[in-house]
Amino acid sequence: MRDSVAGTTTGMSISIQGVTKIYGRDSAHEFEALKPISMDIKAGEFVSIVGPSGCGKSTLMLMVAGLLPMSSGVIEIGGRVVTKAFTDVGIAFQDHLLLDFRTALDNVLLQAEIRHIDKDALRSRAVDLFRQLRLEQAMGKYPRQMSGGMRQRVSLIRTIVHEPPVLMLDEPFGALDALTRLQVRSDLESLWLRNKSTVLFITHSVEEAVGLSDRIFVMSPSPGEIIEEITVDLPRPRPISLTGSAEFGKYAGHIYALFEKMGVLHGMAPAAAGSGA
């Protein structure tokens, strides 16, 4: 299939053409958040968007999900123009948003109630996913009885349990400690490899982008625009230990260099760098 990545996929292609966002248009507080953005994401592709805070990453994702009107441009998912909220999607944000009064399993099964999916079929998929992430012991627990990392991993299961063709993940690991973040990154890759949905992943973390993506779009500071598209040609699965390899480091180093060039990261002045004081 021309517009899908190699292998079996349940995903849909996403086409973003000349999409811009101006908040408060024609008001005294008009603010240009996004310059024209264009990208074609293949069905089953894992794509990350990295960029500095405030460059418009969440704005772009909300427009792709049909949750925020764009100022100009066209977005298509699976060849259909997005004109309203796109429901065939799993969305996850930094906040896990689990319901306090439901157990982990019941939080996941919420998808059956909202989407009118057969509950037994969903339950068996959910239990399978809890097992895959070695979280069986959390199924009967309430969110207050779980660690932050467990809650976020349960939230990830809820995001994907109904096997949506498109996943949109906005900094889903942002609130986690460094070690748990690594675990959830690895979980996400193994879950994605099961059915290869199309993933739009927003992150500040260069290592997460390189560790997970087929392609990375690097954005400029606000108003955001795409300054580089990088194809990550690393084998899968990508164990966390790969992060220390020279190959991985080349990709990460290149993105950090772009951030330095844009003034997002400031290096040490040559004199100070050499002083050793």
Ligand X SMILES: Nc1ncnc2c1ncn2[C@@H]1O[C@H](COP(=O)(O)OP(=O)(O)OP(=O)(O)O)[C@@H](O)[C@H]1O
Contact residues: ligand X, CB under 6 A: 23-24, 31, 33, 51, 53-59, 222
172 in Cβ contact with 156 (< 8 Å): yes
Of 202, 98, 201, 198, the C-alpha closest to 158 is: 98
55 or 166: whose CB is closer to ligand X?
55
Q: Are strands 198-203 and 46-50 parallel, antiparallel or unpaired?
A: parallel
CA distance 220 to 53: 10
Write down the least CB distance from residue 123 to ligand X, Å: 34
Nearer CB in complex with ligand X: 8/53:
53
**Residue 111 vs 203, nearer CB to ligand X:** 203
In the complex, least distance from residue 59 CB atom to ligand X, rounded to whole angstroms: 3
Nearer to ligand X, 44 or 51 (CB): 51
Interatomic CA distance for residues 207 and 244, integer angstroms: 10
Q: Which residue has the tokens 């990460």?
A: 252
Paired residues of 217 in beta bridges: 49, 229
**Which of 44, 56 has the CB closer to ligand X?**
56
Q: Kindly state the smallest distance separating residue 69's Cβ from ligand X, in Å.
A: 11
CB of 77 to ligand X, least distance (A): 19
Question: How far apart are CB 255 and ligand X at their closest, in Å?
Answer: 15
Burial class of residue 151, CB neighbours in 10 A (0-12, 13-18, 19+): buried
